[in-house]
Copies of this chain bind each other. A is one copy, B any other.
Amino acid sequence: MKKEFDPKTIIQTLQGVLPREQKSIALHEPLFKGNEWNYVKKCLDSGWVSSTGKDVDRFEKQLAEYSGIKHVIAVVNGTAALHICLQLAGVTSGDEVLVPALTFIATTNAVSYCGAVPHFADNEERTLGLDPFKLGDYLREISELRTEGCFNKKSGRRIKAVLPMHTFGHPVDIDPLMEVCQRYKLMLVEDAAESLGSLYKGYHTGCWGRLSALSFNGNKIVTTGGGGAILTNESSLAVLARHLTTQAKLPHAWSFNHDMVGYNYRMPNINAALGCAQLEQLPEFIKQKRSLAVRYQEAFADLKGVKAFKEADFARSNYWLNVLLLDEEYSAARDTILELTNKLGIMTRPAWTLMHQLPMYQYCPRMDLSTAENLERRIINLPSSAFL
């Protein structure tokens, strides 16, 4: 028989999984036990710490090999990667881009940077990501297909792209989403900021979108301090991404010419050096994180009213951040659990405030977002560092 729902039991269960000797446990901490020192010191000794260095090349090559995606362009962070992905997907002033309501702010801000309007789509409980079936039904109702593409009948604006985010590392259900994109002539761009190492039906997240974005922020599975990457299998897009992120400077031994409004978005070499060492350890990090996820799942299996979130059948998740999902009837206890755990030095946090509830995005178009709203009330992120 399962134990009754009680915040205190939940905390005891959590403490049972986590190391007892540690006084304070972060949500996600990086681990530097490989060649970090070695590579960063070599980079400093070479004097070449800034953009376009050997470590950047190596980091990009390692990532391409690991992900199976042909072209990788390392940039300053995931937000910059998303911005360029959308721009290269043709998103421009006055377009709409479909974005999940439950996501990190960067997904939505990237749409704004292009002068476009985010249009919020619902999430689903199976993946915590964008719900492709609900999206298909919604588009049938609100959109009009013309030769040029898909138009929002109400706003009159073109819906140019869909930008799903693989929430906490869990891949969205890509196949039906691809079908929706094909049916409605929408460009697919993947926000894979949280899902480095996560597979959908055996292939790396980020390989379905025409362009995809990764992040290597300090809290990610692999870090470069700050960093991100643009992924694409199309070499013409890769060339443009490289050009746009290096201030659109035309190659020349000494002269400075630029042919577009570009960006100063390339990753510095010193950050890439750190990344090379981190990438070497990624398979081990994933193994450890998947094992921690199983420990959470097993520990919470005996408790009523909660479960530790488990990947869908089609997914092999990196379990970047573990999720404790409260049953709807117990969602009122979320804040109590957050307060108690954080007071004990066990860092937990709720999901992000939903995008349509933020003041600057409250008037954006949106579908019924009841699942996202439901999930937001029930999600608690648990400590998820690889070494736990």
Residues of B contacting A305 in the complex (Cβ-Cβ under 8 angstroms): none
> Are A271's CB and B274's CB within 8 A?
no
A352 interface residue (CB < 8 Å to B): yes
> Are B32's CB and A254's CB within 8 A?
no
Q: Which residues A101-131 have CB closer than 8 A to chain B?
A: 104-106, 109, 112, 115
A47 interface residue (CB < 8 Å to B): yes
Report the stretch among A137-145, A158-166, A216-224, A291-299 that lies at the interface: A216-224
0 or 1 for each of A32-56: is its CB under 8 Å from B? (1 = yes): 1000110011001101111100000
Q: Interface residues of A: mostly helix, strand, loop or mixed?
A: loop
A1 interface residue (CB < 8 Å to B): no
A236 interface residue (CB < 8 Å to B): no
> Are B261's CB and A270's CB within 8 A?
no
Please give the residue numbers on chain A whose beta carbons come within 8 Å of chain B beta carbons, in ascending order.
29-32, 36-37, 40-41, 44-45, 47-51, 76-80, 104-106, 109, 112, 115, 217-219, 223-226, 247-249, 253-264, 266-271, 274, 338, 342, 347-350, 352-353, 358-360
> Are A338's CB and B254's CB within 8 A?
yes
The residue on B at minimum CB distance from A76 is: B76
Partner of A271, one of B254, B261, B270: B270
Partner of A44, one of B40, B76, B261, B271: B40
- The CA of A77 and the CA of B266, in the complex, are separated in Å by 10
- The CA of A356 and the CA of B292, in the complex, are separated in Å by 58
- Offer 30 A-B interface pairs, CB within 8 angstroms, sorted by A: A29-B47, A30-B49, A36-B44, A40-B40, A41-B41, A49-B225, A50-B223, A50-B226, A76-B226, A78-B264, A79-B264, A80-B264, A105-B247, A105-B249, A105-B258, A106-B247, A115-B115, A224-B268, A225-B269, A254-B348, A254-B350, A255-B353, A256-B349, A256-B353, A257-B353, A258-B353, A258-B358, A261-B360, A268-B271, A270-B274
Partner of A260, one of B247, B248, B360: B360
Partner of A218, one of B32, B50, B264: B50
User: A36-B44, A270-B270 known; A257 and B78 CB under 8 Å?
Assistant: no
Residues of B contacting A29 in the complex (Cβ-Cβ under 8 angstroms): 47
CB distance from A135 to the nearest CB of B (A): 24
The residue on B at minimum CB distance from A262 is: B109
Residues of B contacting A260 in the complex (Cβ-Cβ under 8 angstroms): 360
